[in-house]
Amino acid sequence: MTAEPQTESDAPASVRQRSLAGRLVLVAAVWSTLALVIAGFILVGLYRAAGERAFDSQLEVHLNTIIGEMVSPETTGSATPGVKRPENLPEPRFSLPLSGWYWTVRKADGTDILFASPSLVGDPLTMPPLGDRESLSGFAQGPRNEEVRFLQSRITIEDVPYVIAVAAETAGFREEVSQFARQVGLTLLIFGVGLIGAIFLQVRVGLRPLSRLRASLSAVRMGDAESIDENLPREIAPLAVELNALILSNREIVERARTHVGNLAHGLKTPLSVIANEARANPGPLADKVGEQAAVMSTQIQHHLERARMAAQRRVIGVSCEVEPVLNRLVRAMDKIYQRRGIEVGASISGGIRFRGEQQDMEEMAGNLIDNACKWASSQVTVKVQVLNEGGSARSMFELVVEDDGPGLSEEERKEAVKRGRRLDETVPGTGLGLSIVADLAALYGGRFELERADIGGLKTRLVLPAL
């Protein structure tokens, strides 16, 4: 048999098949994760911004308190402006050395500090210059090299501009933001896992009708049902309707083909019978030749009509049969038929294998092989059936191997044996069509038929057929 080039449809199923549910879950999981991560950053950013605003509000309260304490009632409104050192501030940390809370007062046109909080203990509080702005807030470095949030503002008292700055350490604020970020991250992680789980369940439930459709189609393919269940959601119900229409159309085509084959057989057999009868009624060389050719024509017609019938049957959707009971019956029958010759027929048949085709075709192929082996065997015939694992094919196949311990065939004889009507030994009863019929049927079903040397000395026939 000529090997056909491997196409994309022959690629391994693991390479070609992709899970629709897996794709949906993966896409939803990726987008959900991305959305949750972005939401987490936004939430933490909003919390940080709200915390900074609250921090600035608190600093502004202290700054206004310092301004109120600076103004000296005794000098207000006089020709000489006067300010006093702010005392009795409500925040006690301004009085604790290096507590992280600081304030300073200086004139706007100079850099010398007029007043400073006791918490600075003489260390400088470096902040960016105010410039022409009336107020400025931001982050700076404290006397202990710690990060501080500051607020400085320009005020004028008795026509004298002053710059007042208030700063507070941000370590506590940063810790609160970090803790909030961890809580948000944990919460969103739990929510994300639950969301992905819900998406998975949603996809499984949503695609369940497709599983029902697949099961219904499988039942039709295996011959357990005649049509697909159309009780499905409206999105895929039209698909089931179209598939049922395709199945019905296939059956109608096959029935028409069978009818035409029968009509053709009937139309040809009658004229051939008349020719054969006329030849027998008028003996002579010409009549003998006509009778001989009429018999050849009858054989040819029967052979090709049988092939047409087989070709039509193998295309019927939903035709299949169990292999084990068919072969068990054949083995028992052959064992009884050839028992008087001492032929022992042994079988090793894997259960659960279904042939994707007509039962009578399975019986014809297996019967020809086993019967042929029993005719030529000396004492032993073995029959073995097993699932065939072929890495380059996506179809399920099984093989039927029949061996005998007879004389066997040479390589040249094995090539001749499968030719239609070719007989290698006229002493054994038969028409010579057995192995050629098997080869034709195997080819029609997309399988193959091979002859090899048997391990037990005789001929080994190997038949590979499609399985469900």
User: Is the whole model's pTM more than 0.85, yes or no?
Assistant: no
> Are the C-beta atoms of 313 and 255 separated by less than 8 Å?
no
Tell me what pLDDT residue 467 has.
87
Q: 376-407 burial by CB neighbour count: b if 16+ within 10 A, else e?
A: bbeebbbbbbeebeeeebeebbbbbbbbbbbe
Residues found in the chain: 468
Q: Residue 107 pLDDT > 70, yes or no?
A: yes
- The average pLDDT across 179-183 equals 94
Residue of 350, 412, 133, 265 whose CA lies nearest to 422: 412
Which of 425, 404, 414, 401 has its CA nearest to residue 451? 414
pLDDT at 444 over 90: no
Q: How far apart are the first and last CA of the chain?
A: 24
d(CA 236, CA 9): 25
Distance CA(183)–CA(452), nearest Å, equals 73
Q: Tell me the mean pLDDT in the region 301-330.
A: 72
Q: Which 3 state secondary structure label does DSSP give 397?
A: strand
Please give the Cα distance from 408 to 425 (Å, whole number): 12
If you compute the radius of gyration of the chain from its CA atoms, what whole number of angstroms results? 48
> In the chain, pLDDT over 90 holds for what percent of residues?
21
CA–CA separation, 21 vs 43, rounded Å?
Answer: 32
Confidence of residue 413 (pLDDT cuts 50, 70, 90): confident
What φ, ψ does residue 393 adopt, rounded to 5°?
A: -120, 140
Return the higher-pLDDT residue of 254 and 244: 244
User: 223: burial class by Cβ within 10 Å (0-12, 13-18, 19+)?
Assistant: middle
- 287 pLDDT above the threshold of 50: yes
The answer, yes or no, to whether residue 313 has pLDDT greater than 60, is no
Categorize the per-residue pLDDT at 445 as very low, low, confident or very high, splitting at 50, 70 and 90: confident
Asked whether 123 and 143 are in contact (CB, 8 A), the reply is yes
Which pLDDT score is estimated for 37? 93
- Phi and psi angles of residue 91, each rounded to the nearest 5 degrees, phi first: -95, 110
- Is the model more confident about 1 or about 110? 110
Query: What is the pLDDT at residue 424?
Result: 41
pLDDT for position 289: 83
DSSP string spanning 66-127?
A: HHHHHB-TTTTTSSS--B----S-S-GGGGSTT-SEEEEEEETT---EEEE-GGGTT---B-
Looking at residue 388, its pLDDT comes to 84
Cα separation, 410 vs 354, whole angstroms: 33
pLDDT at 411: 80
Query: Are 400 and 385 spatial neighbours (Cβ–Cβ below 8 Å)?
Result: yes
Which range of 2-16, 36-50, 151-165, 444-458 scores highest in mean pLDDT? It is 36-50
Q: Looking up tokens 């035409």, which residue turns up?
A: 260
Q: Which range has the worst mean pLDDT, 24-28, 427-431, 439-443?
A: 427-431
The per-residue pLDDT for 173 is 87
Task: Give residue-wise pLDDT tens across range 69-101.
Answer: 887 555 444 433 567 888 878 888 888 998 889
Packing angle, helices 237-281 and 285-313, rounded to 10? 170
**C-alpha span between 346 and 139 (Å, rounded):** 93
In angstroms, how far is CA 376 from the centroid of its own chain? 51
User: What is the SS3 assignment for 389?
Assistant: coil
Does 52 score more than 80 pLDDT?
A: yes
pLDDT of residue 389: 76
Burial class (CB in 10 A: 0-12, 13-18, 19+), 131: exposed
- Ranking 43-47, 206-210, 254-258, 280-284 by mean pLDDT, the lowest is 254-258
In this prediction, residue 35 carries a pLDDT of 93
Mean pLDDT of the chain: 81
* pLDDT band (50, 70, 90) for residue 423: very low
Q: In the chain, pLDDT over 70 holds for what percent of residues? A: 84
Among 111-115, 145-149, 404-408, 455-459, the minimum mean pLDDT is found in: 111-115
